[in-house]
Structure 1
Amino acid sequence: MIFQYLKYFLFHAIGLAALCAILMGGHYVTAGLLIILIAYMLGDAVCGDDTSTPTFKHPAILTVQLWAALPLLSLIVFSAVWSVCSGDPLGFGALISHLTGYDVIAAREGSQWYHSILTFIVTGLMIGMVGTITAHELTHRTWDPISMLVGRWLLSFSFDTIFSIEHVYGHHRYVSTINDPATAPRGRNVYFHIIASTIKGNVSAWALEKERLGKHGKGPFSLSNGVIRGHLMSLVLVVVAFLMGGLEACLFFIACGLWGKSLLEIVNYMEHYGMVRNPDVAVQPRHSWNTNKRISSWAMFNLTRHSHHHADGNVPYQDLRPYSDAPMMVNGYLTTIIVALIPPLWHHLMTPKVLAWDRKYASKEELELAKSANERSGIPAFMNAVNDPLYPVN
């Protein structure tokens, strides 16, 4: 059915809605942000789960669809940076006004300071959703140079090209263990995790590249190092923003990119929070929090089916299975992101779910790890649980 292909274009529709809101300025930015939030959160709440597993006879359509994220995100970010410029770089505003009949320059001049804050929020969301989510899928396709190139440029908007190294070769190997920077231990605050995972992720990526280059007799300080090349890609975008509107535009782009990067780390926090794994056991579906919410699945290329993705990272997004018996998140992705940003609410909802994970999914060895994690958590409910007969006696 053609709908099985079209449903994934919901992602592009949301991106185009954000683009229109940014260009129209003023209260349209407010409306655009509300539409995005409602589309994801209310959509997931009322539309239920998608557990379908259709067969796609033309997967190339779905790959080109992923590649289309790069021009879309480039236009969104260019428009956002343009919105804080005093001039009209490349005559962009005049061109849009001529093509649409809507005076975007006048709309920009009539916008208030707080509209720039809302534009920053929308743009960061799009860098995370249009950029990082798509790049996550593309950079797993290590056999496809076009997908890798598109994916790394998408990641450059959030200063996170190292994701294509650390995530694929580090996170997928060490997920749900203490050796994984992206796995949040029990009791950790999401805001601390954003910083800790970012720093440790960069350190891990550098170590992985240094090891890879060493096998070929090369040192780490060269353009052969993917970490260095990736950060130079991000630097190009910073320079473009500066040329467009000086320091103000440059700082605005950097802020949007860092917000987009933070979204990735919040998602990492959600996807594996509190889980433990015996490092000697292969990663299984039970080692990731899953969700099958319909709108999140369609608009995020089945990132929601995270349990299957970690069980086999080479499976294309359209072929991921729902694994309805896997451990489930609080709700869809955007709803869970907002819950994670409110630590008391997060711990109130997730502590019982993590303890239930111990009872239902943990192996004997993992129960030992879970007990130690509970003791270190600083969360009373976890610490009190160590006396449960479920956990082995030291």
Structure 2
Amino acid sequence: MSNSPAAAPAELTSYRDDKRHWWWLPLFVAISPVLGIYLTAVTDRPSWLWITPVLWYVVLPIADWLVGRDSRNPPDVAVPNLESDGYYKFLVYASIPLFYLTWLVGAWAVATQAYSWVGYLGVSLAVALTNGLALVVGHEIGHKTTRFEKRLAQIVLAVPAYGHFSAEHNRGHHKDVATPDDPASSRFGETLYGFVLREIPGALGRAWHDEKVRLHRQGKGAWSPSNELLQSFAITAVLYGTALALWGVVLIPFLLISTFWGWQFLSTSNYIEHYGLLRQKLPDGRFERCRAEHSWNADHAISNLMLYHLQRHSDHHARPTRCYQALRSDKAPELPSGYPLCFTLAYFPPLWRAVMDKRVLEVYGGDITRVNIQPSKRAEILAKYGAANISAVGA
């Protein structure tokens, strides 16, 4: 790319986002459980109720494999125009009412349509996965600086009942990422299930603490109406409470499955995004700045479209307010596939470790002492990898 003054206008006028008209795909995912419910009604085939889980766990991994990676980046000069283009922002905003519609239709369907337990489970998991996508949208909008967008983030995060996410993620995770202090950064040797039990309560506790500190600086108490966590949770209470009042206790399994499996979507994303990666300590005791090597990327084209470029995670940590359409591929370490397949690998810890542990060691030249290790397994891991690898590095 030329840096001459004449080159910039030419690049700007010639650049076209060839993915521009494919960014509507997440909206299809957001509404896919409703499509499954409709197709079941008109065909009398309840297998359609599983359309969203099949899409996520089967179709997307196959599509990633067939289409492959896309590491192309827009030229720097085109980024300002990309970020100011209202088309991309409209698509994200348009998904928010779809998440509410999907949740309400799903609740209505399991309460009134006399599905078998298999159909009930299919709808619940389908809505859980769209709840996970709602968290991705909340992540995208919650990083923006306008008050309007922060309010929208609170509204969309109310659907999966994760109203503390923006506060925790923006003030906590981005500060402590890839360090032992971060409950949202997974450790080498830590299973997904152990991570979930650490990450979910840790994230809530950190978010509450940070919000309490923020309000204290304003002379307000933690239970003030200005508490942004409570504002989002209040919307959740109205949504869930209204549904229970309308349709009764038959909804309780739906609420539990769609909410907690939706949380799993976020936790599993966090698990695979920083597994084993560690910012090293400087001589003054502080951690080094976050760099590309502290995030796992996945440049697989199809799943990146579905997740608003969340898989270009290193650039997101470098530039948190950058809009999804302008996120760039860089020299971060790469996952073996997009998030959908990596989710399935993570569900089976021996399989995950067989694929990922060697990749972590490659990032650090085989030096296990530079890895973010699960404390309870430190002696075991050092015994397994330490002596041979450390001596090899020394040689």
Distance 2:213 2:116 in 1: 50
Residue type at the aligned position of 1:69: S
CA distance in 2, matches of 1:327, 1:206: 33
Of 2, 9, 26, 1:11 maps to: 26
Q: Distance in 1 between matches of 2:36 and 2:237?
A: 27
Q: Of residues 190, 209, 223 in structure 2, which corresponds to 1:188?
A: 190
* Matched AA of 2:198: A
Superposed displacement of residue 35, structure 1: 3.6
Within the candidate set 162, 165, 168, 2:164 is matched to 162
Distance (whole Å) between structure 2 residues aligned to residue 389 and residue 161 of structure 1: 44
- Residue 369 of structure 1: CA displacement? 4.5
Q: Does 1:66 align with 2:92?
A: yes
Q: Paired residue for 1:29, among 32, 38, 49?
A: 49
1:83 aligns with 2:109: yes
* Distance across 2 between alignment mates of 1:63 and 1:260: 24
The separation in 2 between residues aligned to 1:203 and 1:374, in whole angstroms, is 21
Counterpart of 2:142 (choices 139, 142, 167) is 139
Contact 2:33 2:106 survives alignment (8 Å): no
Within the candidate set 116, 119, 125, 1:112 is matched to 116
Q: Distance in 2 between matches of 1:350 and 1:379?
A: 19
The amino acid of 1:122's aligned partner reads A
2:32/2:51 contact within 8 Å kept: no
Report the alpha carbon displacement of residue 319 of structure 1 after superposing the two structures with TM: 1.1
8 Å CA contact 2:47–2:119 kept in 1: the answer is: yes
Could you say if the C-alpha distance between residues 379 and 85 of structure 1 is closer, same or farther in structure 2, counting changes exceeding 3 Å? farther
Aligned residue identity for 2:342: T
**Match of residue 269, structure 2, among 238, 254, 267:** 267
Report how many residues are paired.
Answer: 362
Counterparts of 2:313 and 2:252, CA distance in 1:
35
Which letter maps to 2:230? I
* Cα drift, residue 306 of structure 1: 0.2
Deviations 1:59-105 (A, max 9, x none): 2111111111111111111111011223xxxxxxxxxxxxxxxxxxx
**Matched residues in 2 for 1:313 and 1:185: separation?**
23
Alignment of 1:337-352 (within 5 A): 337-352=343-358
**1:89 paired residue number:** none
1:231 to 230, 233, 238: 233
User: What does residue 42 of structure 1 align with?
Assistant: 62
Cα separation, partners in 2 of 1:339 and 1:205, compared to 1, 3 Å? same
Q: Residue 13 of structure 1: CA displacement?
A: 2.1
Distance (whole Å) between structure 1 residues aligned to residue 393 and residue 180 of structure 2: 20
| Counterpart position of 1:97 | none
Correspondence for 1:218: 220
Moved more, 43-52 or 170-179: 43-52
Residue 318 (structure 1) shift: 1.1
**Map of 1:386 onto structure 2:** 386
Kept in 1, the 8 Å contact 2:192–2:347? The answer is yes
Mapped partners of 2:33, 2:239: distance in 1: 20
1:351-385 CA distance string (max 9 Å, x none): 1111111118x8xxxx7543x83775369565322
Judge conservation of contact 2:33–2:123 (CA < 8 Å) in 1: no
What secondary structure sits across from 2:27 in the alignment?
Answer: helix
1:91-130 to 2 correspondences below 5 Å: 108-109=113-114, 111-129=115-133
CA RMSD of aligned residues (A): 2.3
Q: Tell me, which stretches of 5 or more residues in structure 1 are unaligned? A: 87-107
Bigger shift: residues 221-230 or 66-75: 221-230
SS in 2 for 1:160: coil
Tell me, in whole angstroms, the C-alpha distance in 1 between the residues paired with 2:138 and 2:228.
15
Residue 211 of structure 1 deviates from its aligned partner by: 1.2
Counterpart of 1:317, as a letter, is Y
Show the counterpart of 1:356: 362
Q: Is the 8 A contact 1:291 1:332 kept in 2?
A: yes
**Shift in Å at residue 392 of structure 1?**
8.9
Match status 1:316 vs 2:323? yes
Distance in 2 between the 1:331 and 1:213 partners? 42
- Give the 3 Å change call, closer, same or farther, for CA 390–203 of structure 1 in structure 2: farther
Alpha-carbon distance, 1:311 to partner: 1.4
The more displaced of 260-269 and 52-61 is 52-61
Equivalent in the alignment of 2:377: 377
Distance 1:368 1:233, change over 3 A: same
Query: 1: CA distance between counterparts of 2:26 and 2:53?
Result: 15
Contact 1:176 1:183 (C-alpha < 8 Å) held by counterparts: yes
| Pick aligned residue for 2:342 from 336, 339, 353 | 336
Instruction: Using the TM superposition, give the Cα deviation of residue 32 of structure 1 relative to its aligned residue in structure 2, in angstroms.
Output: 4.7
Which whole-Å CA distance do the structure 1 matches of 2:178 and 2:99 have between them?
Answer: 31
| Aligned-partner Cα distance in 1 for 2:309–2:391 | 34
Cα distance change of structure 1 residues 244 and 52 upon mapping to structure 2, 3 Å threshold: farther
1:39 Cα offset (Å): 3.1
Could you state the TM-score of these two structures normalised by the residue count of structure 2? 0.85
For 2:354 and 2:208, how far apart are their aligned partners in 1?
36
Structure-2 separation of matches of 1:146 and 1:271: 28
Task: Note closer, same or farther for the CA distance 1:183–1:339 as it changes in structure 2 (3 Å cut).
Answer: same
Which consecutive unaligned segments of at least 5 residues does structure 2 have? 1-15, 41-45, 281-285
